[in-house]
Amino acid sequence: MSRHERVQKILSSHGITSRRNAEKLILEGRVFVNGERASLGQTADPENDSITVDGALLKSKSKPVYLMLNKPVGYLTTASDDRGRKTVMDLVTDVSCRVYPVGRLDINSTGLLLFTNDGEFANKVMHPSYNKHKTYIVEVSGDVDKAADLMRKPVKIDDHAVLAISVESSGKNDQGGILKIVVSEGRNRQVRKMCAACGVVVKSLKRTSIGSLELGDLKNGKWRFLTDDEVYEVYGQI
């Protein structure tokens, strides 16, 4: 029984790339269906049609895999590094199939990082339209109460105004304290830049949740598979 789907969805569901980037690949003429260049919006049957990307034949769809890692300091969030630095992929080498990180945490940040081979899942986590709130616990030096007050209003970073969903301060001392910052956007180093713009210096930054997914007591440097309920919640929240 044939089952036709849009080519960009097929590439995404096979874990090749996100749907948005799949559309770019098609527009660049890098995707072929049965030997002919694919067009945007074209449909195909992934079981019976020959689909290639940059000349490589699309393989049968792998079983979808979803996991979370408690990322330590000192690891790049990338699949590989030409300078030989440690990457988060070094921490998930015992996964039975190839997965890739969903979104990013910079090298000095820790906490919840998701991995999958399901492009549709990755898109639902990352794309701003799905409004997945992300929670960060940030140890800072400086006036935490003043910074919290400033962050409750729009903060300009990189010529763009961003607004936190919520900001709480705690653990205050003469040197600084703790900020719990919840944001919905995922701009590059957004939380660090917000802190800098509000006069505090980040000493440590840890992401503890993405949407309904909680890091919980997962140990530093360790990973676990998501439960079926957790995967369902990501899809079901849309």
Sorting pLDDT into bands at 50, 70 and 90, what band is 120? confident
Q: Nearest Cα to 42, choosing from 56, 52, 32?
A: 32
Tell me what pLDDT residue 154 has. Answer: 95
pLDDT higher than threshold 90 for residue 236: no
The CATH code of domain 66-129+213-236 reads 3.30.70.580
Distance CA 221, CA 72 (A): 5
Instruction: Looking at 117-227, list the stretches that DSSP marks H as alpha helix, in order from N- to C-terminal side.
Output: 119-126, 144-151, 190-197
pLDDT at residue 133 greater than cutoff 80:
yes
Q: Which CATH superfamily is domain 5-57 in?
A: RNA-binding S4 domain (3.10.290.10)
pLDDT score recorded for residue 80: 83
pTM: 0.76
* Averaged pLDDT score across all residues of the chain: 90
Find, among 171, 202, 206, 166, the residue nearest to 184 by Cα: 166
pLDDT on residue 238: 37
Residue 45's pLDDT is 87
* pLDDT, position 79: 82
Position 1 confidence tier, pLDDT thresholds 50, 70, 90? very low
pLDDT tens per residue across span 191-211: 999 999 999 999 999 999 999
Cite the active site residues.
106
pLDDT of residue 40: 92
The number of residues in the chain equals 238
Q: Percent helix, strand and coil across the chain, each rounded to 5?
A: 25, 30, 45
| CATH 3.30.2350.10 is right for the domain spanning 133-210 | yes
- Return the domain boundaries, the chain: 5-57, 66-129+213-236, 133-210
pLDDT band at 182; cut points 50, 70, 90? very high
The predicted-structure confidence for 39-96, as pLDDT tens digits, reads as follows 999 999 887 888 999 988 887 666 889 999 999 999 999 888 889 899 999 999 888 8
From residue 152, give the alpha-carbon distance in Å to each of 146, 156, 204: 10, 12, 21
